[in-house]
A and B are shown apart, each in its own frame.
Chain A
């Protein structure tokens, strides 16, 4: 399976909203509502932010939201805060009992 496509970097100022896209195919993102999003700080383990496309795990701020249109999933972060600066990865079930991740997006808070 090919990796999902994410922008290498996005940036925004505190208080703004940003959106990170995650483009797959009709065999993964487009077929299943099983996209998850992870936040990762340098040298740290990933943290689950969104699962099954739009759901929040316990303890995750509702400033983070997930959506999907066609073969593209998106993570929107509203009210951007300095601590949101991190790498973000999308992940989708890809059929045949496999998972595929995106290449990751570095979020910079200006």
Chain B
């Protein structure tokens, strides 16, 4: 069964850092691009970042560029999101999602909650 499971969320103060992880199983991880997408409380979805299967191509939304870093370890079947200089507006549920077709995501994790507050 294809599964994605996020972890690493929590409460952090403004300016702090957090590292999210996404453990995958049930498919050949290295063959797929991956995305991080977030959803602020009561709000819509927002794309955060993309990484290709080989990590050779990486993209970020303007809202996180320079503060967040996406990475992956294909040997460990894991995706990561290092989040630095966190702001209150980064508060959201963060989903990892498997890339599908051109710029879609077909499999999503259940999300991990990040709260940035003092």
Contact (Cβ within 8 A) A3 B104:
no
Contact (Cβ within 8 A) A101 B45:
yes
Chain A residues lying within 8 Å of B102, measured Cβ to Cβ, are: 34, 51-52, 93
B110 within 8 Å of A (CB atoms) = yes
Interface size classification for chain B: 20 to 34
Q: How many residues of A contact B (CB 8 A)?
A: 26
Contact (Cβ within 8 A) B45 A89:
yes
Residues of A bordering B, CB below 8 Å: 1, 3, 34, 36, 38, 40, 44-48, 51-52, 55, 57, 89, 91, 93, 97-104
30 contacts between A and B (CB under 8 A): A1-B62, A34-B104, A36-B101, A36-B104, A40-B45, A44-B110, A45-B95, A45-B108, A45-B109, A45-B110, A46-B37, A46-B45, A46-B95, A46-B97, A46-B105, A47-B108, A48-B104, A51-B101, A51-B106, A52-B104, A89-B44, A91-B47, A91-B103, A93-B103, A97-B59, A98-B59, A101-B45, A101-B46, A102-B44, A104-B44
